[in-house]
Chain A
Amino acid sequence: QAVLTQPSSLSASPGTSASLTCTLRIGINVGTYSIYWFQQKPGSPPQYLLKYNSDSDKRQGSGVPSRFSGSKDASANAGILLISGLQSEDEADYYCMIWHSSAWVFGGGTKLTVL
């Protein structure tokens, strides 16, 4: 089982909110990890969005709008990227990442379609 699992795709309408999940493998407790999120548009390198560990330990990437935010769902053992007020420009691939066993590990990515 992969360390981080993301749904392969998600669709949402403009103006609504999208919740992208990043589920940690059983035995890896989300409460002990900082979750990092990246956005990648076709033909471009990924862009750093934010880091979320807790409400008192979080960091927004430079220039990243506040409608991008992070959280955790302990019951689901998952990190969450919430995008509110969806815009067409938010259509992209989104990746989560953690530091686990002395390595940076990426999730498989979620393709967000805004339609």
Chain B
Amino acid sequence: EPEVTQTPSHQVTQMGQEVILRCVPISNHLYFYWYRQILGQKVEFLVSFYNNEISEKSEIFDDQFSVERPDGSNFTLKIRSTKLEDSAMYFCASSADRGMQTQYFGPGTRLLVL
């Protein structure tokens, strides 16, 4: 069964460093998403992506965040200058289309900023 994969599973970085989280969505899906979950808190929407551009983004997704689909299979989330409060689990998801669609989630990347 097709699945969404994410790498790395865990990442530890120093404050101020850049990190890139990688995702491979399900191959025939068109919409891609990033969510984050700070430990003990609810999941929060960061950004959705379609046709090589951002479709929607939340207030959390400020200038230090960017997304890219560099090669037609990978979908990346870059955090330019990490802060302590960026420590969280980051989930990638994909769906076949937009709106009222089941989203399929990757296993997550646990990011720890020291």
**Co-complex (A, B):** no
